[in-house]
Structure 1
Amino acid sequence: MAIESRATQIAAIGYTFVILSSIATCLRVYCRGWVVKAFGADDWLAVIAQFMFIVFCSYEITGVRYGTGRHFKDIEPENIPRAMQMWWTCEPTYVLTNMAIKASIAIFLLRICITRTHKIIIWTITGITEIYSLFFFLLFVLQCRPTSLFWLRYTSNPPGGSCLDASVVAKAFYAYSAISCLSDWTYSLLPIALVYNLQMSRRTKISVVGILAAGAIASSATIIRFPYLYSLTDIDDFLYSTSDVAIWSTVETGLGITASAVATLRPLLRSFLGHGSSADGQGNSARPWQRTGSNHPTGGYIRSHGQNGEEAFDLHDNAGKRIGVTTIIDHDDKSDGNGETGKNGSRSEASDSVAELHGWNSSQSDLADANGQPRAQKGWNVLVKKTVVQTRGSDLA
């Protein structure tokens, strides 16, 4: 009679997502560290999350070797405590990994937030998620006294002690999953609000929203896992009953890491395809977003104020490389006899020079000086419009 087992499925899912997420994380590190040259706190958290996910999958696959995914009756008695110990180790590692992922995504979104309301939403949902995750982590780790009783209770001579009722842990896991879904969908839907009023083409809006909202994919695994959480109460056949919990927890975490990495890879894709990028909005001021206390462009993002007061936004490929700046000076001088300018006409001064990205916060006069242009004369109604166009390093040679 064939042995009923889910071990192969658990192992296959573990191998698949540890490879997929590792590739995505490596690409993220390359993109942020070498292409954009703006490796930030969110990227460090993503690397930490990936490292912990590898540890999680290692324990999970080791547990499969000892009996995870099989019925107790089909496992050698001496291997049951070992498999249970691997399962116990996976759970807190899983929680810590997802805490790092959520924090990474939150920092990423805070970098591109426009309004104070959006920032408050992100801080609030992230705070709730992280605090409850820490509570759930401690609850799981301390559910048995001594801790080793969690796996040694399946031996012939278990130590003295006690464990919380399994239903308490299961209910806490239900709440954790609900909060996790709430944060995932908040992080996924918020980009729609972020780009709705931005000055960019519809195609670019769809592209940006699609990239930033990729995290919703991870929450689908959390939703699918909901019906299986009751299996945590089946302590008499725990390793087989919780197979679906193990599978979908791996999928959720692996997708979360991969999706958060994909959201940062647009500059790498554009660089690979050999296309420069430019801000879609024809703004009158543009600046790269900066991290607090840093002189470097933040994360390769540019936000600009459009002509109608709207915001323009672009994922900037090579922040830190050279940027061409064109300055246009308009004035209200009346037309002279030669008809060179009208009442609402304009005089244009254009700079063909390519300036280093150092003076984003300079005054309008300083910007004119930096490009060899004359300062505005007294009495002019001066309006300075800056159009920022990114050029690839090869274009500057």
Structure 2
Amino acid sequence: MLTNINTIVLASQSKVPATIAISVSLPTLSTLAVSLRLYTRRFILGWIGPDDWLIVIALVLAISTSVAIILEAFRGMGTHVWTVTPVMLLEQMKALYASILTYNMANNIIKMSFLLQYRRIFGSSSPTADRVCYWFFFFIMLWAIMQAILLSVACIPVAKIVPIMAGKCLDTLPVWCFSAGLNIITDFFIFAIPLPFVYNLTMQIRQKVLVFTIFSFGFFTCIISIIRLIYLRIVTVTEDLTWDNVELTLWSIGELNSGIVCASVQTLRPLISRFILGLTPSSSTEGSRAHTLSELIPHTVVS
């Protein structure tokens, strides 16, 4: 009798509402941040650069990831696996496959946007920073292609979608851990790139601390990436995949949207100056194309 009651209680449990709520709210926040970024770049500074367009692409992919995760939720993710029919589970695995690919593409494009943004900020004053960002951009682009290939043939979810692939697909845990580990390493490297150059700038201590703070927002994304890594192993060994996969997917959404918001926050100083502080940005159109540190902190002297 007690076993039957426990079974009924477990069957009634659901993480679906929380999954849908987070999958909608975080992309909405990112969309707002990117919209403010584009407004600032187009209507205040007069020019939209390649890094802005890349963050738009990343936003589209992040929204696509959330849509795929919502589809997973409608097909059983967030409930216990024994309550999900085989047909629903198959459809969920297809949506999971789509979310894995869009998540990783978005993740890499966010990194590429950061690197182009750094080139605009530091390129004219630091040839070293410009070269580092230039070559690392191509490394991330090549890694994105390799990563897409590896993840597309990992056993989860490929073997569940196409059972005959079970003996031909790649072991999921090593592929996912290698992919996530390299993502974390590249995240830390990318977010650390501007810090030495900010340290060498000639400016007031208060301004330097503010610039450091702005560029350090990205490390919050690194923390999310590390937390997400913890859930990777759980998903690859669990017998209740539809229940235990929820946390991993939600941290994935958090990571993407955190990166998009952090990248956009660095561009909003002219908007804040105009509408909150009542100041008029002094950047000309040509100056905005250079995207110097004066867009982050006015009256900055770069040395």
Q: TM-score range by the shorter chain?
A: 0.7 to 0.9
1:69 shift after superposition: 2.1
Q: Say if 1:300 and 1:276 are closer, same or farther in 2 by CA, change over 3 A.
A: farther
- Does 2:258 match 1:259? no
Q: Distance in 2 between matches of 1:161 and 1:198?
A: 55
Give 1:93's match in structure 2, choosing from 81, 99, 102.
Answer: 102
Give 1:234's match in structure 2, choosing from 232, 237, 255.
Answer: 237
1:122 shift after superposition: 2.6
- Does 2:146 match 1:135? yes
Match of 1:53 in 2: 62
Q: Say if 1:151 and 1:203 are closer, same or farther in 2 by CA, change over 3 A.
A: same
The answer to whether the 8 Å contact 1:300/1:315 transfers is: no
Q: Say if 1:119 and 1:301 are closer, same or farther in 2 by CA, change over 3 A.
A: closer
1:69 aligned counterpart, secondary structure: coil
The answer to whether the 8 Å contact 1:143/1:164 transfers is: no
1:143 shift after superposition: 3.7
1:120 shift after superposition: 3.4
Higher Cα radius of gyration: 1
1:296 aligned counterpart, secondary structure: helix
Q: Say if 1:125 and 1:316 are closer, same or farther in 2 by CA, change over 3 A.
A: closer
2:14 aligned counterpart, secondary structure: coil
Superposed, 1:1-397 pairs within 5 Å as 1-2=8-9, 3-113=12-122, 114-143=125-154, 150-151=160-161, 153=163, 160-162=164-166, 164=168, 168-234=171-237, 236-272=239-275, 273-276=277-280, 296-299=286-289, 301-302=291-292, 313-315=293-295
Cα deviation, 1:253-278, whole Å, max 9, x if unaligned, reads 01001110111111111111212456
1:299 shift after superposition: 4.1
1:74 shift after superposition: 1.5
Q: Say if 1:220 and 1:161 are closer, same or farther in 2 by CA, change over 3 A.
A: closer
Q: Under a length normalisation based on structure 2, what TM-score does the superposition of the two structures give?
A: 0.84
Structure 1 unaligned segments of length 5 or more: list them: 154-159, 279-286, 289-294, 303-312, 319-386, 389-397
Identity of aligned residues (%): 24
Q: Which runs of 4+ in 1 moved over 6 A?
A: none
The answer to whether the 8 Å contact 2:159/2:169 transfers is: no
2:218 aligned counterpart, secondary structure: helix
1:274 maps to amino acid: G
1:218 shift after superposition: 1.0
The answer to whether the 8 Å contact 2:72/2:96 transfers is: yes
2:49 maps to amino acid: G
Q: Distance in 1 between matches of 2:257 and 2:32?
A: 11
The answer to whether the 8 Å contact 1:191/1:213 transfers is: no
The answer to whether the 8 Å contact 2:112/2:140 transfers is: no
2:267 aligned counterpart, secondary structure: coil
Q: Say if 1:28 and 1:137 are closer, same or farther in 2 by CA, change over 3 A.
A: same
1:227 maps to amino acid: I
1:183 shift after superposition: 2.3
1:301 shift after superposition: 3.0
The answer to whether the 8 Å contact 1:99/1:133 transfers is: yes
Q: Distance in 1 between matches of 2:110 and 2:296?
A: 23
1:38 shift after superposition: 1.7
Q: Distance in 1 between matches of 2:133 and 2:78?
A: 38
Q: Distance in 2 between matches of 1:234 and 1:107?
A: 39
Q: Which has the higher helix share?
A: 2
1:15 shift after superposition: 1.3
Cα deviation, 1:180-213, whole Å, max 9, x if unaligned, reads 2222222322222122222222222122222222
Q: Say if 1:267 and 1:17 are closer, same or farther in 2 by CA, change over 3 A.
A: same
Q: Distance in 2 between matches of 1:13 and 1:130?
A: 29
Q: Distance in 2 between matches of 1:255 and 1:103?
A: 15
Q: Distance in 1 between matches of 2:162 and 2:60?
A: 28
Q: Distance in 2 between matches of 1:177 and 1:202?
A: 36
Cα deviation, 1:107-148, whole Å, max 9, x if unaligned, reads 00011223333233333444433322321211222346xx97
2:294 aligned counterpart, secondary structure: strand
Match of 1:363 in 2: none
1:254 maps to amino acid: N
Q: Which has the higher strand share?
A: 1
Q: Say if 1:163 and 1:206 are closer, same or farther in 2 by CA, change over 3 A.
A: farther
1:163 shift after superposition: 5.2
